[in-house]
Amino acid sequence: MTASRPLHQRIRGDIETRIRSGEWPPGYRVPFETELMAEYGCARMTVSKAMSSLADAGLIVRRKRAGSFVAPPKMHAPVLNIPDIQSAVLARGEAYTFRLLSRRIRAARRNDADEQALAAGGRLLDLEGVHDAAGRPFALERRLVSLKAAPDMANAAFTERPPGAWLLENVAWTEAESRIGAVNADPEISRRLALDPGTACLVVDRKTWRTGEHVTRVLQIFPGEVFNLVARFGPDP
């Protein structure tokens, strides 16, 4: 039965077996197409068809000029929950770090109604940072925090816990709103997340409140290859 399969399916099957068995772990560089052509004695079109199929299945990631790599396992987060990125990454057995890129305390912009509502007459903590998983950028985070709702956050170091985890531990929220979207990585996002320009990214825009008081607004940008949002529904009783 194996011999009767089209060669591109056999190449895909061989590579998929190595990935799923753990022989080729996440981040492992898959042999170049020229190497696979030599190994299987076939044309580039045959190898390219197999690689495209693996990429479509989310098993490999193809990067221009760098080659193809075994894709990292996707993080799954319930749509109606607020995920703790640090805990999720550590649960996958990967090293986690948060790199704080910028931090400042400022007033809300006068012409921005959302910022004015968030600040509620106080000042805002404006943060930007990158969550890393296994030594690679996992998410870019841009966050505004109401210092009226979370005054102690002005002095938090974020060396052990990133801003989101700090808030989950110290400022209880009672209401949240999440908007899910997608963007193609612009030059800045590409640089922050080490992506090719134009790479598809998932965007989570979230606001939280505590008994009607605004707490934070955060924009988290994930490479599309590393993150899933999951919702499970059932009929009303």
Q: Tell me the per-residue pLDDT of 178-206, one tens digit each, with 9 for 90 and over.
A: 888 999 999 999 999 999 999 999 999 99
The Cα angle at residue 33 between residues 30 and 34, in degrees rounded to 5: 120
**Given this model, what pLDDT does residue 188 score?**
95
Per-residue pLDDT tens over the stretch 5-60: 789 999 999 998 888 777 888 889 999 999 999 999 999 999 999 999 898 888 89
Report which DSSP code applies to 125: E
Report field, pTM of the whole predicted structure over 0.85: no
Q: Is the dihedral of CA 47, 49, 55, 57 positive or negative?
A: negative
Q: Please give the distance of CA 165 from its chain centroid, rounded to a whole number.
A: 16
Residue type at 178? S
Burial class (CB in 10 A: 0-12, 13-18, 19+), 14: middle
237 pLDDT tier (thresholds 50, 70, 90): very low
pLDDT averaged over the chain? 87
Q: Based on C-alpha coordinates, what's the Rg of the chain?
A: 22
Per-residue pLDDT tens over the stretch 115-162: 999 999 999 999 999 999 989 999 999 999 999 999 999 999 898 899
Report which DSSP code applies to 146: E
How far lies 45's CA from each of 49, 53, 136, 143, in Å?
6, 12, 31, 46
231 conformational bin, left if phi > 0, alpha if psi -120 to 50, beta if neither: beta
Report the distance separating Cα 236 and Cα 192, nearest Å.
43
Q: Is the dihedral of CA 179, 180, 181, 185 positive or negative?
A: positive
84 pLDDT tier (thresholds 50, 70, 90): confident
Name which of 58, 27, 221 is nearest 140 in CA terms. Answer: 221
